[in-house]
Chain A
């Protein structure tokens, strides 16, 4: 399937994946991420049940310590 990940096209095997699976496959190494599917927030504890499919717009942002 083809999705938009952080404003860029991205390709994944299969018809749908969860947000956690996407994080694993893309190797996002930062511990703290904020995620959205089609503009809607997916909270940390929802990521195993939040499904991404063809055409979805996904955003993953790293949160960085310091301030």
Chain B
């Protein structure tokens, strides 16, 4: 155990140590669309202990251009379909799902026990609600948001920024989705994986 702590300090960790550490933590995925489904899969493959997936929506054909679902899952609740896909990758991950449209009350109730929250909503209004609710109710809990990732190219505009003690933002801060600027797999995947990457970094500094 002492050796493990020593390694923590210098941040040199073998994959076994990383997976062992991650296995004690639970991450909430707020919205299981393009950002949420891809971030969840990256965390699952890295060895996160538990995932809590929240989404009220069902898989549609138009989601398959960027979200981690398959043709035969159209019509299923995204949270359930994602749970199935993650268990196909790793059966040992603890999974919880909730089919609910998150609001201030449900965020406060549902996210009380998780170690970190990944914001993966589609609508800016929901992003604002989650950010404000987390800052007011859980100021010590890390929140990693996605903000601006529509279109293609422009990789150099994507960045990661700490916005508050425990609030981090990944994205290009500019490119809003629209008919002429659709969300596409590469850029959505880049931001989702940035969120997962940052989540790993933060969790590997946490103690339990």
Contacts and interface: CB of A to CB of B under 8 A. Distances in A.
Interface of A: 30-34, 36, 39, 41, 43-44, 59, 61-67
Contact of B132 (A34, A39, A62, A64): A34
Given A41-B135, A65-B124, A67-B121, 8 more contacts: A34-B128, A36-B164, A41-B164, A61-B173, A63-B125, A66-B149, A66-B150, A66-B188
B194 interface: no
Interface of A is mostly: loop
Interface string B121-134: 11111011001100
Contacts of B183: 66-67
Contacts of A36: 164
Contact of B127 (A32, A39, A41, A59): A32
Given A32-B124, A32-B125, A61-B169, A66 B176 contact: yes
Q: How many residues of B sit at the interface, in one of the four size bands?
A: 20 to 34
B176 A65 contact: yes
Closest 4 CB pairs of A and B: A66-B177, A32-B124, A63-B124, A64-B148
A64 B128 contact: no
A67 B188 contact: yes
